[in-house]
Structure 1
């Protein structure tokens, strides 16, 4: 690949970032691409509107759920060392793990934690604890506050709880805190020199903060909460890094587990295992899951990806093994995911020449809507589905467990915890698109906006899937 080709990529990212920043959608944006031995990083706008500090190429940011791939890598390292067995029950190593359903935790295998097939109903469980035993506090809280969505291995549902339990499991078997383990076994060998795990460390260098658009003025205002509690570390609450750090981590997975520093971080076999399909729901809105990685199909090309929401920001890491390419980015408003999706699709089609077929075909007529009507629930979330004017209408209600969790979630969401009712049009039985969007919207990362229903029994769907997360018919 010529330097000119990557210069064209840098120019495109710069142009698109500038357009979004100047339109007021995003205060600041930073992105990088590594392709065939060459690398570029581009930054635009400000890291914090309150201070006017610029977004720099080496500005740090919260990794959010991209951390889940780091946590999975740590688990596989311990499997290689003979300390953990993917096929063993988690309670073999963590006997205190329990859920509100008696005996349910005993069926969860180590593999289920990192493949999002564990069924732990804890996606909005935000216990507030700090320090060395925060993850211990989280696991203890599951026993009194969280149940199950399904039998382990039966379904797929994006699982913050599973990753946090995996983090506590790592602490127990290694004797190190999750932060120390991440520093020793990922940051250092990968060469993630700008990475840390706390606000106290991040403040010593250039670090971006998240923002939310003020509903009255539509101007960006800084978040009131920099990180989620320490209890959410392994799911993405606390790790912080730079675009160059994420590119280095992605390159490690491109190179069969050998980092850019030359250190072997993971065996070639474990690296390949993470990229293999571990569960496929066979629906366009939920890509097949590997271990840690989500496998986004774009025609014949697979993009290994994970995006990461943080309070007022969103990161993304994409690895394309067939094309020797890594893409990483961060924007400091939640809407930056739109720009990230735009750039990812441009990289695929214009830079790599990948043809992206339409993900959804013409909507079917006369789809029976009655199997999907009802109330669906998961941890602290209620979704009421009805038929209005020949379309499905969903009303989402947040039902906080206590004042502390309500405060944390409200800050994480930028103050807005309720949304207006959303209408959906049928694509085919069991698959729906939000009304008003052109079909091509869903060809990229935003396929997660589609909603699907699963497991019809006696004329009723048992599960609803939105954004990769299941709710169960009440």
Structure 2
């Protein structure tokens, strides 16, 4: 990348960030691009409105679910060393692993954990344990409280539970706590000097906090909860770092497993395996998945991506092997995901010259809505689908298992326990768009807003898919 092109990217990103944050009440945003040996980082706004601390280029933030790619990298490191076999049952290494459905855990392979095809129904299971035994407590709790959504390998559903079980598996095989393993095997060799795994570490340096909109004043207010419990570490609850650190990790995957420092972190074979399609639902709202990475098709270009929600914040890491580019961003309000999508599409179309085809080109008018009506459930989540004025209407309700779960989820969601009803219009049988959105809104990362229904039997869909997550007909 020549200096002029780099200057253009920096100026454009700075302009987009300032305009979006100003008009959408996002307090702060930090973004980085590495392309062809050159790198820029742009910071805008405020890291914490309570203190007025500015968002800086080296301000830390919660990685959220971007951590899942780090966890997957740790698993593949053990495969490289001959300590794990992807096609062995998890219980071979983790005999205590069980689910509420007898025998169900025995069928889950190591590969299913990191490929989101395990079927563990635990997406909103938040046990509030701390310290070295947090993941052990999480796995123990699965046996009494969490069942299955589908047979392993039968479907694809974004899985926090699978990644957390993978984290516990890492602990048992290596004899090291997950956080220590992450620091030793990822942070150090990759070159992520400003990354940590706790609020205690984060407070020693500049760190952003998430914000939610105050519905009375419409002003952003800081979250009441900085991180999710330690039990969610491997899925993204606790790791914290900077844009430069995430770019270094992305560059490691860009370079076939070799870190910017020259240290080999992962074999070329395992790095490539993570980037290969391991499951494809063949539905526009759910991109194919590799191991750890989600594989977003933008025309002929594949974007390896993972986004990460944290309490009041959202991060994104994208690696484009075909274009030698890494993109990382964080905004300290959930609405920043729209800005991340906007910048990603600008980088693709304007900077790289990638043609982004329309994902949805037309809507079918006469789609039978009856097969999709009903109640769908997953762990502590209920979705009621009905027909109202010729459109599908969904009502989503959180049903907490206990007071502890309710407290954690409510704080994570900024005080909301149910969403207002949402209407959907048919694109084609089994695929729906939220009413009122322009069709081009779904060309990029926000294709996750589309809803699909799957496995229609006897005139009824068995599964609903929203945001890559399945709920099953009750």
Q: TM-score range by the shorter chain?
A: over 0.9
Question: Once structures 1 and 2 are overlaid, which stretch shifts more, 435-444 or 12-21?
Answer: 12-21
Question: For residues 62 and 265 of structure 1, what CA distance do their matches in structure 2 show?
Answer: 22
Question: For residues 292 and 82 of structure 1, what CA distance do their matches in structure 2 show?
Answer: 20
Residue deviations 1:331-366 (CA, integer Å, cap 9, x gap): 000000000000000000000000100001210111
Post-superposition offset of 1:25: 2.0
Give the secondary structure class of the aligned counterpart of 2:365. Answer: coil
Residue deviations 1:240-284 (CA, integer Å, cap 9, x gap): 010000000000000000000110000000000000000000000
Post-superposition offset of 1:77: 0.2
Post-superposition offset of 1:22: 2.4
Q: Does the 8 Å CA contact 2:31/2:41 hold for their aligned counterparts?
A: yes
Q: Does 1:285 align with 2:285?
A: yes
| Corresponding residue number in structure 1 for 2:224 | 224
- TM-score (normalizing by structure 2): 1.00
Question: For residues 272 and 38 of structure 1, what CA distance do their matches in structure 2 show?
Answer: 24
| Corresponding residue number in structure 2 for 1:146 | 146
Give the secondary structure class of the aligned counterpart of 2:385. Answer: strand
Give the secondary structure class of the aligned counterpart of 1:377. Answer: strand
| Corresponding residue number in structure 2 for 1:85 | 85
Q: Does the 8 Å CA contact 1:423/1:434 hold for their aligned counterparts?
A: yes
Give the secondary structure class of the aligned counterpart of 1:404. Answer: helix
Give the secondary structure class of the aligned counterpart of 2:180. Answer: helix
- TM-score (normalizing by structure 1): 1.00
1:29-40 equivalences in 2 (<5 Å)? 29-40=29-40
Give the secondary structure class of the aligned counterpart of 1:347. Answer: helix
| Corresponding residue number in structure 2 for 1:444 | 444
Question: For residues 155 and 425 of structure 1, what CA distance do their matches in structure 2 show?
Answer: 25
| Corresponding residue number in structure 1 for 2:62 | 62
Question: For residues 125 and 28 of structure 2, what CA distance do their matches in structure 1 show?
Answer: 30
Give the secondary structure class of the aligned counterpart of 1:363. Answer: coil
Give the secondary structure class of the aligned counterpart of 2:418. Answer: coil
1:49-448 equivalences in 2 (<5 Å)? 49-448=49-448
Q: Does the 8 Å CA contact 1:282/1:288 hold for their aligned counterparts?
A: yes
Q: How many residues align?
A: 474
Question: For residues 370 and 107 of structure 1, what CA distance do their matches in structure 2 show?
Answer: 34
Q: Does the 8 Å CA contact 2:163/2:234 hold for their aligned counterparts?
A: yes
Give the secondary structure class of the aligned counterpart of 2:42. Answer: strand
Residue deviations 1:367-394 (CA, integer Å, cap 9, x gap): 0000000000000000010111110000
Q: Does the 8 Å CA contact 2:24/2:335 hold for their aligned counterparts?
A: no
Question: For residues 230 and 40 of structure 2, what CA distance do their matches in structure 1 show?
Answer: 33
Post-superposition offset of 1:225: 0.3
Post-superposition offset of 1:216: 1.1
Q: Does the 8 Å CA contact 1:24/1:219 hold for their aligned counterparts?
A: no
Give the secondary structure class of the aligned counterpart of 1:101. Answer: coil
| Corresponding residue number in structure 2 for 1:461 | 461
Residue deviations 1:68-123 (CA, integer Å, cap 9, x gap): 00000000000111111000000001011111100000000000000000000000
Q: Which runs of 5+ in 1 are unaligned?
A: none
Post-superposition offset of 1:24: 4.8
Question: For residues 177 and 65 of structure 2, what CA distance do their matches in structure 1 show?
Answer: 19
Question: For residues 24 and 301 of structure 1, what CA distance do their matches in structure 2 show?
Answer: 30
Q: Which runs of 5+ in 2 are unaligned?
A: none
Provide the aligned C-alpha RMSD in A: 0.5
Q: Does the 8 Å CA contact 1:24/1:220 hold for their aligned counterparts?
A: no
Give the secondary structure class of the aligned counterpart of 1:433. Answer: strand
Give the secondary structure class of the aligned counterpart of 2:441. Answer: helix
